[in-house]
Every structure is written in C-alpha cells, then in structure tokens.
Amino acid sequence: PDSDSDLWLAYALLEGARLWRRPALNAIADVAGVSVQTILRQFGNRDGLFDATVEFAAARYISATK
C-alpha cells in the first residue's frame, strides 16, 4: 500500500459496510492490496488495526477542523 492509511481506510470502509459483523482480515487485506501477514505484522491483530483506525480517523478529523 502507499501508506498505513490505505489499510485504515480499507478497514473503515468494510467495518462501516458491515456494522453488524466485523470484516474478515482477508477481506481487509484484499481491499487494501496487502496480505493478512502484513496486517498482523503492522498491527498485531484485528483489535490493533481497529485502534489504529480510530486514531487515524480522529487525527484526520481534528486536522480537518482546524
């Protein structure tokens, strides 16, 4: 991916589309164009990716409102 934001955006897109069901890591990896191993290496697990996604979204929101 071009940056971590590709992973975060892929996760957010799939999470938002499936609010009642968390997306599989392989679906996130497919959308982001990476392997599941890349996600696990960077974030440890799905919860780590979720936490990073929330932090990314919050930082983006804060910078957009300044």
Is the pLDDT score of 13 beyond 70? yes
Kindly state the tokens that stand for 29: 């990896």
User: pLDDT per residue over 25-56, tens digit each?
Assistant: 998 899 899 999 999 999 999 889 988 888 88
Name the pLDDT band for 19 (thresholds 50, 70, 90): low
Q: What percent of the chain has pLDDT over 70?
A: 86
**SS3 for the chain, per residue?**
CCCHHHHHHHHHHHHHHCCCCCCCHHHHHHHHCCCHHHHHHHHCCHHHHHHHHHHHHHHHHHHHCC
